[in-house]
Amino acid sequence: RGIIKKFLLDPMQQAEKQKKIRELTAELEVTNQRCEVYRANLLTVLKDMEEQKLKLSVKVQNARFSLKE
């Protein structure tokens, strides 16, 4: 138990833990920013796909009306 207690209370170990926490926090922030960019790009692609689907739907409807006449 004494070794574990010493490990937990050792200032150097605490400093290393804090350093690692800061590194991981910075990495998480970068990853979150990258995720936001990917999300924005995906939403743009989905919006474009929806617009293309609607245009294609109108073309199909026009073709169907032309065939009926």
pLDDT tens-digit profile of 16-35? 888 999 999 999 999 999 99
pLDDT number for residue 9: 65
Residue 33 one-letter amino acid: Q
Measured between alpha carbons, how far is 59 from 40 in angstroms, rounded to an integer? 29
pLDDT band at 1 (very low <50, low <70, confident <90, very high): low
The answer to whether the predicted template modeling score (pTM) of the entire model surpasses 0.85 is no
